[in-house]
């Protein structure tokens, strides 16, 4: 029955409203520079710890510990490196256990924590025999390296990191342990050590996988976050449950019962699910966000990244838990483990001592109760009762969070979510939902182990991977070049300074001077008098030359449309808009004129670029009127060579003069339409852009265009032939011959390549550039309408 329950529920997963796509993407972009630290002799720099002042980054790597100077924003310098590698014998004995000497046996430093004001605590897998050590931060030297860190460090280099702050259960409960000893007591318990489970007859933890830990200073408690097998749901096999567990820092164990064991251990399920959905039950990471100054400790927030055990694709969610709700759960009702039936059953009445600190000298009967009643009855529900972020496209694995004050003095929360595929998604939480303000690529190869550390004071996010450490500035406002783009970005860290007329970091200016509207991105209101009309770009082309006008999308969510007095109902079919929004057409009397590329985002429209397409001035010396009747056979045309070279030179020189601007080309290079918006990428925009399509070529028109092309051109040019001068006709003729030959050559080449395609059969396919190009030679094939006109 168990599996069927799961499968029945399976259908419910994954229909929650998902995060919209990132507004702007930076893939290894010079516009959004990152600082990378890597060292030829240092690998697997995956454990990071930032010093309190934010100027030093401590790094646990493979066989080494590093201290990095991160006080400058544009460079990371190595201050000191301490080697910490197993000896030859230790390596040999590791290999003898059947472990891979290269992959498993090095010392992967997996725990790095402050121990006290002068020392760090480090722990590494050390040839499958975990070792730990103290590090003097002043001299960055290792003292007191020891064996026997089992339980505080994973043996395997890639297993989940144990919780921090590491706590050792070995320290004697009396006399009162020092704070470091208390810290270290924690961990062995959490690894489910046998001496713990023997005494308790039910294990405190079931195959846990640790994620993070946090301190509750006012409540003298430590919390740690993990996923484990949920034994309370015995009807489903291997059901994973995300949890938070607590222990009191001054727990000294019982006097007889629970001697040297925790009397304050308790755990509670963390629930992260949308309404009528299967829960996201596997915890990946937790970030602790301290409350605002002046707020109570109970307002501390825990941001958890969750995935689902049942996901088929990349899928994840973020839920926020309040410290207050955790305290309430641990002070509430508990379940008790029945050793006979091996079931967890709810206790009917509330026992006030469960989950409390200071049970050291209570009676044995109370401790006997404590021993088997450490699971709370109630789950801890997230703030707002559901996830704040759900993604059906990305599997997030790490999270860092900062709070920032916007120009309106309101506080906004910014999440930095690391995807499995190596992108940082900067997500801002708005009243009306979450937005991915930007995405930044930080690595390309999948990473077994990775970590993120945020320096709020420096405004830098550090990402540690096997390949090195990447410093990602939390914002780079100068990427937004206009007031409208700065406002549309909805980045609480960026605002448009009306006096300096630049998009800058908010801390750099007076908030009243800043144009920013995070909730509504109302550009008209914010950017009054800040917009400068762009000039038309002039383009001179020859008659019947193919013209391509590029237009770059200012953001991934903008939709582009072309407007022009030339794009009228009856001429619409002359224009083609490609997937990358290049507008293509032939230069004719009907198409010379101005063109505007307009972007629409969030209801705001603005012209991105304008072109003025003109005919090149006709040659001064009029050539003699050609005899249209004695049209020379193609193969024997003497002027053929000249025309071709001239034609090709013309397009290349122009292209190199303005490389990213205008592409004029021969008819054979025409790329056809695809669609304005890629429906797979942003389905949300589809409806918004419907009304925009009135003045822009749509996919339907494009299809018609290809079907009706010959007829259209025929009528068009027929009309023209009655009115144009003979000189133009002669020019036209030579150009036609040129096109004709090129088309022939082009077709011949394609036939040779064996490309056999038909565009009309697959009009909806975005990815077939080759196919689309194949359709073009038909325009200049021997049945070219232009030729008929001349005859
Ligand atoms: C910090 O801990 C180390 C290691 O136990 C110890 O040697 C050192 O004296 C401690 N320093 C302080 C200031 O407590
Ligand atoms: C528990 O110990 C404290 C001192 O540590 C003492 O004051 C208190 O009376 C003891 N309570 C019991 C029930 O023994
Ligand atoms: C260590 O780094 C190498 C690449 O340098 C990578 O293949 C390996 O998976 C990493 N191991 C761990 C445990 O991170
Ligand atoms: C281009 O054509 C003109 C005649 O129209 C000729 O004089 C000139 O040499 C040609 N240019 C090249 C590069 O072939």
Secondary structure in 3-state letters for 28-79: CCCCCCCEEECECCECCCCEEEECCCCCEEEEECECEEEEEECCCCCCCEEE
> What are the CA-CA distances from residue 630 to residues 155, 637, 675, 712, 721 (Å)?
89, 12, 44, 26, 18
Q: Region 647-665: what's the mean pLDDT?
A: 35
Parent domain of 432: 196-443
pLDDT at 708 over 60: no
> What are the CA-CA distances from residue 645 to residues 638, 642, 649, 653, 746 (Å)?
13, 5, 6, 12, 16
pLDDT at 394 over 60: yes
Indicate if 126 and 149 belong to the same structural domain.
yes
Residue 246: beta bridge partners?
223, 266
Distance CA 496, CA 504 (A): 6
Distance CA 519, CA 17 (A): 19
Tell me if 710 is assigned to some domain. Answer: yes
pLDDT, residue 174, reads 29
For residue 590, what pLDDT band results from cuts at 50, 70 and 90? confident
Tell me if 6 is assigned to some domain. Answer: no
Tell me the two tokens of residue 577. Answer: 């808009």
Q: Region 585-604: what's the mean pLDDT?
A: 90
pLDDT, residue 220, reads 83
In which residue are the tokens 């265009």 written? 705
Q: Region 575-587: what's the mean pLDDT?
A: 86
Residue where one domain finishes, among candidates 721, 745, 762: 721
- CATH number of the structural domain spanning residue 43: 2.130.10.10
Tell me if 592 is assigned to some domain. Answer: yes
pLDDT at 291 over 60: yes
Q: Provide residues with CB under 6 Å of ligand 4.
A: 642, 645-646, 649
pLDDT, residue 109, reads 92
Q: Region 501-523: what's the mean pLDDT?
A: 87
Pocket test for ligand 1, best of 113, 119, 166 (most atoms within 8 A of CB): 119
pLDDT, residue 729, reads 62
Count helices and strands in the chain by DSSP H and E runs: 14, 39
Pocket test for ligand 1, best of 114, 116, 122, 138 (most atoms within 8 A of CB): 116
pLDDT, residue 427, reads 97
Distance CA 68, CA 37 (A): 9
Residue 436: beta bridge partners?
427
Tell me if 531 is assigned to some domain. Answer: no
CB neighbourhood size of 404 (10 A): 19
- At 59-109, the pLDDT tens digits run 999 999 999 999 998 999 999 999 999 999 999 999 998 888 888 899 999
More confidently predicted of 442 and 696: 442
pLDDT, residue 734, reads 74
Contact 242, 282 (CB under 8 A): yes
- At 363-377, the pLDDT tens digits run 888 888 888 899 999
| 696: three-class secondary structure by DSSP | coil
DSSP string, 482-498: SHHHHHHTT-TTEEEET
Q: Provide residues with CB under 6 Å of ligand 3.
A: 43-44, 46, 108, 157-158, 448-449, 466
Indicate if 162 and 147 belong to the same structural domain.
yes
In which residue are the tokens 């995956």 written? 46
Average pLDDT, the chain: 75
Which ligand 4 atom is at minimum distance from the Cα of 642? 14
More confidently predicted of 12 and 464: 464
Contact 249, 359 (CB under 8 A): no
Pocket test for ligand 3, best of 448, 451, 464 (most atoms within 8 A of CB): 448
Of 445-459, 536-550, 690-704, where does mean pLDDT reach its minimum?
690-704
pLDDT, residue 443, reads 94
Beta strands in 51-150 (DSSP E): 56-60, 64-69, 77-83, 109-114, 119-124, 131-136, 141-146
DSSP state of 221: E
Q: Region 713-741: what's the mean pLDDT?
A: 56
- Identify the burial level of 314 via C-beta atoms within 10 angstroms of its C-beta, where 0-12 means exposed, 13-18 middle and 19 or more buried: middle
Which ligand 3 atom is at minimum distance from the Cα of 46? 14
pLDDT at 409 over 60: yes
- CATH number of the structural domain spanning residue 501: 3.30.1680.10
* Closest among 232, 156, 220 to 191, alpha carbons compared: 156
Tell me if 113 is assigned to some domain. Answer: yes
Indicate if 200 and 314 belong to the same structural domain.
yes
pLDDT, residue 711, reads 36
Indicate if 261 and 115 belong to the same structural domain.
no
- At 445-489, the pLDDT tens digits run 989 889 999 999 999 999 999 999 999 999 999 999 999 999 999
Please tell me the total count of domains within the chain.
6
pLDDT, residue 756, reads 39
Q: Region 391-420: what's the mean pLDDT?
A: 95
CA-closest residue to ligand 3 atom 3: 466
For residue 660, what pLDDT band results from cuts at 50, 70 and 90? very low
pLDDT at 285 over 90: yes
* pTM exceeding the 0.85 threshold for the entire prediction: no
Contact 165, 113 (CB under 8 A): yes
Indicate if 310 and 379 belong to the same structural domain.
yes
Residue 91: beta bridge partners?
none
Distance CA 782, CA 744 (A): 8
Residue 222 CA to ligand 2 center (angstroms) comes to: 23
Residue 585: beta bridge partners?
547
Which ligand 3 atom is at minimum distance from the Cα of 108? 13
Tell me if 623 is assigned to some domain. Answer: no
- At 14-52, the pLDDT tens digits run 345 789 999 999 998 899 999 999 999 999 999 999 999
Q: Three-state secondary structure along 302-356?
A: EEEEEECCCCCCCCEEEEEEEHHHHHHHHCCCEEEEECCCCEEEECCCCCCCCCC
- Cβ within 8 Å of residue 15, ≥6 positions away: 277
Indicate if 492 and 469 belong to the same structural domain.
no
Tell me the two tokens of residue 432. Answer: 């009306």
pLDDT, residue 78, reads 96
> What are the CA-CA distances from residue 146 to residues 76, 118, 179, 189, 526 (Å)?
31, 19, 20, 20, 62
For residue 332, what pLDDT band results from cuts at 50, 70 and 90? very high
More confidently predicted of 633 and 96: 96
pLDDT, residue 315, reads 92
pLDDT, residue 728, reads 60
Ligand nearest to the CA of 45: 3
Angle CA 327–329–333, to nearest 5: 130
| 399: three-class secondary structure by DSSP | strand
Burial 369-382 (b: 16+ CB within 10 A, else e): bbbbbbbbbbbbbb
Ligand nearest to the CA of 367: 2
pLDDT at 500 over 80: yes
Q: Region 321-339: what's the mean pLDDT?
A: 93
pLDDT, residue 536, reads 85
Indicate if 394 and 499 belong to the same structural domain.
no
Indicate if 557 and 519 belong to the same structural domain.
no
Tell me if 393 is assigned to some domain. Answer: yes
pLDDT at 153 over 80: no
For residue 411, what pLDDT band results from cuts at 50, 70 and 90? very high
**Which phi and psi angles does 495 have, rounded to 5°?**
-145, 160
Indicate if 459 and 506 belong to the same structural domain.
no
Distance CA 166, CA 93 (A): 27
| 236: three-class secondary structure by DSSP | coil
Is the dihedral angle over the CA atoms 46, 47, 52, 56 positive or is it negative? negative
pLDDT at 155 over 70: yes
For ligand 1, say whether the CB of 118 is within 6 Å of any of its atoms: yes
CA-closest residue to ligand 4 atom 7: 642
Indicate if 401 and 496 belong to the same structural domain.
no
Residue 140 CA to ligand 1 center (angstroms) comes to: 14
Distance CA 224, CA 245 (A): 5
Indicate if 660 and 739 belong to the same structural domain.
no
Indicate if 265 and 284 belong to the same structural domain.
yes
Rg (CA), the chain: 34
Contact 239, 233 (CB under 8 A): yes
Distance CA 493, CA 399 (A): 18
- At 182-231, the pLDDT tens digits run 444 444 444 333 333 334 456 788 888 888 888 887 878 889 899 998 88
For residue 261, what pLDDT band results from cuts at 50, 70 and 90? confident
| 54: three-class secondary structure by DSSP | coil
pLDDT at 331 over 50: yes
For ligand 1, say whether the CB of 120 is within 6 Å of any of its atoms: no
Distance CA 684, CA 129 (A): 53
Residue 361 CA to ligand 2 center (angstroms) comes to: 6
* Closest among 662, 660, 557, 564 to 607, alpha carbons compared: 564
Burial 771-786 (b: 16+ CB within 10 A, else e): bbbbbbbebbbeebbb
Residue 448 CA to ligand 3 center (angstroms) comes to: 7
Q: Region 431-442: what's the mean pLDDT?
A: 93
CA-closest residue to ligand 4 atom 4: 642
CA-closest residue to ligand 4 atom 9: 642
DSSP string, 596-617: EEEEEETTEEEEEEEEEEEEPP
pLDDT, residue 485, reads 94
pLDDT at 612 over 50: yes
For residue 160, what pLDDT band results from cuts at 50, 70 and 90? low
CB neighbourhood size of 568 (10 A): 11
pLDDT at 670 over 70: no
Tell me if 212 is assigned to some domain. Answer: yes
Of 153-162, 661-670, 700-709, where does mean pLDDT reach its minimum?
700-709
């Amino acid at each position: 029955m168990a599996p069927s329950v799961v499968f029945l529920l399976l259908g419910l997963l994954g229909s929650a409203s998902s995060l919209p796509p990132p507004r702007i993407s930076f893939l290894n972009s010079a516009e959004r520079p990152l600082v990378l630290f890597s060292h030829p002799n240092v690998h697997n720099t995956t454990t990071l710890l930032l010093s309190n002042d934010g100027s030093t980054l401590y790094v646990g790597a493979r066989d080494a510990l590093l201290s990095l100077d991160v006080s400058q924003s544009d460079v990371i310098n190595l201050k000191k490196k301490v080697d910490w590698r197993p000896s030859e014998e230790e390596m040999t004995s590791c290999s003898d256990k059947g472990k891979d000497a290269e992959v498993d046996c090095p010392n992967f430093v997996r725990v790095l924590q402050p121990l006290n004001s002068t020392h760090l605590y480090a722990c590494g897998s050390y040839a499958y025999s975990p070792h730990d050590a103290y590090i003097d931060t002043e001299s960055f030297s290792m003292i007191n390296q020891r064996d026997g860190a089992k339980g505080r460090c994973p043996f395997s280099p890639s297993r989940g990191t144990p919780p921090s702050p590491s706590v050792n259960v070995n320290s004697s409960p009396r006399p009162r342990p020092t704070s470091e000893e208390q810290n270290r007591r924690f961990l062995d318990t959490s690894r489910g050590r046998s001496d713990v489970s023997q005494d308790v007859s039910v294990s405190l933890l079931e195959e846990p996988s640790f994620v993070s830990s946090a301190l509750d200073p006012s409540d003298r408690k430590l919390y740690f976050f993990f996923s484990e097998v949920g034994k309370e749901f015995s009807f489903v096999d291997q059901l994973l449950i995300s949890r938070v567990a607590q222990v009191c820092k001054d727990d000294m164990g019982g006097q007889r019962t629970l001697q040297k064991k925790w009397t304050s251990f308790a755990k509670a399920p963390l629930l992260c699910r949308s309404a009528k959905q299967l829960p996201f039950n596997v915890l990946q990471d937790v970030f602790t966000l301290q409350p605002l100054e002046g707020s109570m400790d109970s307002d501390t927030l825990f941001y958890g990244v969750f995935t689902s055990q049942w996901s088929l694709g990349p899928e994840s969610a973020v839920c926020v838990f309040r410290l207050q709700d955790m305290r309430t759960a641990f002070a509430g009702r508990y379940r008790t483990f029945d050793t006979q039936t091996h079931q967890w059953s709810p206790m009917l009445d509330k026992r006030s001592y469960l989950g409390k600190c200071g049970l050291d000298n209570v009676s044995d009967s109370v401790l006997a109760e404590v021993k088997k009643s450490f699971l709370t009855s109630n789950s801890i529900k997230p703030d707002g009762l559901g996830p704040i972020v759900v993604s059906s496209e990305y599997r997030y694995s790490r999270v860092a969070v900062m709070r920032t004050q916007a120009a309106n003095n309101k506080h906004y929360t910014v999440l930095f979510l690391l995807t499995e595929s190596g992108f940082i998604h900067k997500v801002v939480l708005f009243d009306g939902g979450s937005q991915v303000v930007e995405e930044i690529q930080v690595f390309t190869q999948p990473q077994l182990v990775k970590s993120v550390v945020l320096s709020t004071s420096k405004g830098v996010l550090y990402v540690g991977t096997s390949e090195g450490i990447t410093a990602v500035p939390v914002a780079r406002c100068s990427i937004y070049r206009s007031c409208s783009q700065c406002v549309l970005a909805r980045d609480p860290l960026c605002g448009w300074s009306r006096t300096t007329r630049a998009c800058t970091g908010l801390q750099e200016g007076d908030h009243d001077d800043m144009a920013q509207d995070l909730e509504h991105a109302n550009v008209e209101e914010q950017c009054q008098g800040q917009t400068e009309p762009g000039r038309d770009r002039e383009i001179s082309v020859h008659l019947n030359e193919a013209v391509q006008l590029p237009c770059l999308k200012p953001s991934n969510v903008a939709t582009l449309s072309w407007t022009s007095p030339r794009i009228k109902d009856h001429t619409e079919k002359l224009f083609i808009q490609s997937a990358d929004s290049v507008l293509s057409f032939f230069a004719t009397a009907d198409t010379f004129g101005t063109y505007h590329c307009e972007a629409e985002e969030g209801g705001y429209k603005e012209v991105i670029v304008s072109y003025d397409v003109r005919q090149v001035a006709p040659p001064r010396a009029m050539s003699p009127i050609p005899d249209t009747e004695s049209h020379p056979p193609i193969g024997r045309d003497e002027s053929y060579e000249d025309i071709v070279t001239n034609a090709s030179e013309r397009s290349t020189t122009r292209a190199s003069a303005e490389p990213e601007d205008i592409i004029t080309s021969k008819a054979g290079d025409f790329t056809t339409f695809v669609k304005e918006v890629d429906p797979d990428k942003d389905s949300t925009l589809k409806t918004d852009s419907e009304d925009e399509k009135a003045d822009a070529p749509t996919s339907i028109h494009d299809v018609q265009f290809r079907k009706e092309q010959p007829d259209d051109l025929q009528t068009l040019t027929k009309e023209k032939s009655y009115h144009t001068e003979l000189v133009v006709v002669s020019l036209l003729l030579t150009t036609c011959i040129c096109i004709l030959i090129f088309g022939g050559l082009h077709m011949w080449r394609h036939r040779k390549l064996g490309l056999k395609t038909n565009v009309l059969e697959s009009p909806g396919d975005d990815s077939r550039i080759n196919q689309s190009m194949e359709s073009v030679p038909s325009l200049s094939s021997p049945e070219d309408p232009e030729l008929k006109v001349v005859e």
